[in-house]
Structure 1
C-alpha cells in the first residue's frame, strides 16, 4: 500500500499506529469534571431544559442542574462523605441520577454505580470489592442492600433531595481535586473473567465529555439544536458518558424515557418532544424496525411524524440485515455505530453524523469509493486525541490497513486501571518500546484505507446479551455449586433479538438425580440478575478442556453452532462428545 493510502487511513508505518483524523482535544484547565462542567451550565439558556422526563413531563434546567448538584454535595458532606470515599449509587435512570452523580464528584468522592437488576448476592460481591462509604438508592431497591452497610449509611435519594432546601450550595472547587484523582468506579468484566472495578480519573471524565462535544457537533449547526432520546441506563458507561457527561456539557436537551424499554412509549416520546438523535443498543434498533414493519397501513407513517435524524448504536455489533431493515422503515434516519468500553470512559470510535452524505446508510463511510464493501460494518473513526494499533496476536507486530489483529487503544480517556487488580491491570494496560501505554481491547479489528474501524470478532470471552456483559466464568461458578452437576461451561449462541444468549453445556454427575434443563435454568436464575441467566441447557458427555484444564471456548462455540436445528427448546441432549 502506498504512502498516500497510509495517510488516508491515518496510519504511520514508522510507529505502527493509527491516529485520529479529528483535531486534537482542547479542554479548559479545569482540575475536576464539576469544575469543567458547572461554568458551562451557566452559559446555556435558563429556560432550556437539560433533562425532560417523558413519563411525567417534569424538567430540569441547566442552572438548576448545577445548583441542585452543589446542594447535593453539601448534603452528602454533612453525612460524612469525603474526598476519596466511594459512594455506591443503586438507582434507575431519572432526573435525580445526574444530580446525585455530580454531587458525589463535586466532593472528590468516587462514584460507583450498580445495575438495579443485580441480586443481593451480586451486590454484596461488588460492595466487598469497592468498600463504599455509603449507598444512595431508592425505597424499592434498598432491601437488596440487606446488611451490606449500616442502616445510617443507606441514603434514599428522594429523601436526600427533599432536604436540599436546608443546605447551602457546596463551594465549587473546594475539595482540592486533581485530574489524576479517581472519579468513577464502574464495573466491567474486561476481556475475561469476573467483574472488575474500572477506575476512571477526573482527567478521563473531562476528556470523555470534551470529545463528545466535538463528535456530536453538526457541521454548519449548533450543539443545542439536537434533542437526545435517552433510553440507555445511566448506571452503564454508555448511558452515563452520554447523558451525565455529554449532553449537559454541550447544552443539549435529553428526553428520558424511564422504565422497561417499549417501542410504543419511545416513539410517542420522540414525537412529542421532537427528538432528533437517539442513542441505543442493537436490540432496541431491532425492535424499532420490527414494530414499524408490522404497522398498518403504512410502515413508515409513524416514522414520517418524527424529527429523528440520527440513531447511534453501540454495545454490540449490528448485523447488516438489521441495518437494512431499519433503513427501509426509517428512510430519513441515519443509523450509525460507535464503539467504546468501560475502560475507555465511553466511546473511542464513531461514524460521522448527518448531514454528511451516507451512501447506503450502513455507516461504512462518507467518502465515495470504488472499493468493494467491507465484510463488516464500520464502527467509525477514532475520536479526537486517540491512537490505535492493530496487533498480530502471535507475533505482536503492528499491522497496516486491511489486516486483522487485536485493537489496542491509547488516549486521554483510557482508565487508570482496575481497582486492586494489579495482575489484571498489567494484562490490560501494556507499554510499548517507546514507553507509551496502550489498552488491549480484546477485540479483533481492522482499519480500512479510509481510516474506518471494523470489528471482526472478539478475543474476549464475554457474552453480549442485549449489550449487557455476561461473563461465562461467573455463570460457571454458579453451575459448579449445583449438587447434581459434574462439570459445566457457558458459551454464547446467536440470537436475533438479544445478539447473543448464554447457553450452558452441562455434564451430569454420575448417580445423581439427573437434573433436567428446567432444573438447571431455575437454579441459575435464582442466583443472578435476569440478563445473566442461562437461556438454554445442552447436556453433554464432557467439556472440552486443554491439558491445563482451561475450557476450549472456540471448540465449545463451534459445537453449539452445529446444533442450530435442534436449539429451539430449553434443552438439547447431546450423546456425543463435544
Structure 2
C-alpha cells in the first residue's frame, strides 16, 4: 500500500537548477550568498549570478556542449557553487569527485563518467595528475593556478560571448555523483535538473529557511547531501552559505560563533562532538536554531544529549533532529520538520527520520515475501517521487535491481512507520557499510584485497564499534599458501589503495570464506562468527 506524505504536494517549477536556485538571490543582489568561513571573503547573490553566467560562457567557448561531463575534484570553497551552476547553465553535467579519493579511484570515475574536463585545485594536483595519466581528459583546469593550466580567472573571462542553452529539466542531467547504491561498485547516479529542483522545493514546507539564515557548509559539496541540502537549498531561499574546506572541530565552532550561524546540517560524528567534546563550552553557539543530521543513523540518546547541551546557552530553543535520504533520491525523502511545521503539532521522536516530504509516496515491503508489511511491522522502505533518479549510467541491470517499472526505488533500508506517518530506520537489507556518513562497498574493498599477492580470498563486513557508534570495515582474510602476511600489513596495503574512509579498520584471518553454492559470500555467517 502506498503511503502518502502528510504534507500537501508542492508545485515543482519547470526550470533548470541555476534558474531556480539563483532566482531568489537576483532579487537581493547585494546580500551575501557565499562566505569563506576561514578567510571571510564574500560573494554576493548578484556576483554569484554574474560569475555563473561567465563560467557557462567560457566552458562553451572551450568547446563543451550540452550533455558533456565536467568532473570537479575540489573541497568546499565559495567557488564550488559558482563552478557547479556554471557547468549546469552551460547544459553540461557536473560529476563531483570525493576529495579523499586516490588516483585509481579518480581515474575510474573519469573513465566511467566519460568526463571531458577535470576542474581541481593545486593541492590536489598530485592525485589529479596521476589519475589523468590513466584516464586522459581534454583539459585540467586548476582553480587557484598551476603552470600550464587554465585557472578560475580564465573561467570568469569577460570576452566569451554569453550562452543560452535549451534545457529540458525533466530529462537533461545536471549532476552525476557516484554511489554504490544498494550494493556493488560505485555507479554514476543520473540526476536531472527536475530531480534537484524538486528536492529543494519538497523540503521547503518542513525546513523553513529564511532570507537571513546563515548555513555552515562543512559537509562536502561533492556529497549529494551537501550539494542539495546545504548549497542549493541555502542559496534558493536567499540565505548565506558559509563554507569550510574540511571538518576541524575548533574551526567549526569558531565559524559558528564568528558568523552567527543559524543552521548546521551535519552527520552523526559532529553531533557526537557537540554532545561530548569539552571544546564546545569555549564557544558561543547561541545563534544556532537547528542542527539537522543526515548521511547515517543518529542515535536518539545522542541527539537528546546534544540538544540539551546546546540549549544551555541558546537564545532560543535549538533543535537536534535527523532526516533520511540517499544519492539516488537527490537525496531527501524524509526529514524532521522545524518546530511548528509538524502535522497537527506532532512531536517527532528523536530516533525518527521524520516524515516523507511532499510529493513523495512510500511503501514498506517484507523482503522475504515481496508483500506490503502489515501495519506497525517492519519492511524495506520503497520510495516514489520526483526526486527519484533517472537511473545508473550505462548500467541497466543495476538500475532495474534498484528502480522497478512502477517507479519505486528500493532503498535497501528497513523502516517502521507510526500512526502519524513518522518513519524510523531500524536496519539495513543492503550490505553497504556506512562510515562517518560515507558509503563503503564491501565488494570494492574485497576486489582490492584480492589483488594482494599474499591474499587468497577475502570478505568484508561492517561491525559496530560500541565506543564511537560507527560501523567499521572489517576484513576476513584467507592467506595464500606459505604467506605470513600480518594484520598490520593488510591494513597498510589497503590504506595505500583506497580513500581514508574506506580503509579496513579490523582484520581477521580465516581458513575459508563462507559462500553459497552460487559463489555468493555468506556475510550473515561472518557476522554470526565475528
TM over 0.5, shorter chain = yes
Aligned to 1:380: 354
CA contact (8 A) 2:325 2:334 kept: yes
> In the superposition, relative to structure 1, how do residues 170 and 20 fare at CA in structure 2: closer, same or farther (>3 Å)?
farther
Q: 2:331 aligns with which of 343, 346, 351?
A: 346
CA contact (8 A) 2:231 2:241 kept: no
Give 1:35 shift: 2.5
Residue-by-residue CA offset, 1:52-92 (whole Å, 9 max, x unaligned): 11100001111111110110111111111110111001111
Q: Which moved more, 1:99-108 or 1:236-245?
A: 236-245
Q: Secondary structure at the match of 2:151?
A: helix
Gapped regions of structure 1 (runs ≥ 5)? 1-15, 359-364, 561-578
Alignment of 1:390-429 (within 5 A): 390-429=364-403
Give 1:328 shift: 3.2
Aligned to 1:35: 19
Residue-by-residue CA offset, 1:256-301 (whole Å, 9 max, x unaligned): 1223x1221111111111111100000111122221xx35xxx757
Residue 367 (1) aligns with residue 351 (2) = no
Distance in 1 between residues matched to 2:295 and 2:85, nearest whole Å: 24
Give 1:168 shift: 5.2
Aligned to 1:155: 141
Residue 182 (1) aligns with residue 182 (2) = no
Q: 1:279 aligns with which of 262, 265, 272?
A: 265
Aligned to 2:115: 132
Residue-by-residue CA offset, 1:413-454 (whole Å, 9 max, x unaligned): 1000000101000111113xxxx3110000011111110011
Residue-by-residue CA offset, 1:322-376 (whole Å, 9 max, x unaligned): 2232133223421110011100112110011135699xxxxxx95269xxx7xx8
Residue 444 (1) aligns with residue 418 (2) = no
Distance in 1 between residues matched to 2:136 and 2:513, nearest whole Å: 44
Q: 2:429 aligns with which of 444, 452, 459?
A: 459
Provide the aligned C-alpha RMSD in A. 2.2
Q: 2:242 aligns with which of 255, 269, 287?
A: 255
Aligned to 2:99: 116
Give 1:307 shift: 0.8
> In the superposition, relative to structure 1, how do residues 540 and 26 fare at CA in structure 2: closer, same or farther (>3 Å)?
same
Give 1:485 shift: 1.6
> In the superposition, relative to structure 1, how do residues 184 and 272 fare at CA in structure 2: closer, same or farther (>3 Å)?
same
Aligned to 2:65: 82
Give 1:171 shift: 4.4
Give 1:169 shift: 7.4
Gapped regions of structure 2 (runs ≥ 5)? 145-149, 312-316
Give 1:184 shift: 1.0
Aligned to 1:336: 321
Q: 1:320 aligns with which of 288, 292, 300?
A: 300
With normalisation by structure 1, the TM-score equals 0.85
Q: 1:264 aligns with which of 225, 250, 254?
A: 250
Q: Secondary structure at the match of 1:330?
A: helix
With normalisation by structure 2, the TM-score equals 0.93
CA contact (8 A) 1:281 1:316 kept: yes
Aligned to 1:510: 481
Q: Secondary structure at the match of 1:440?
A: strand
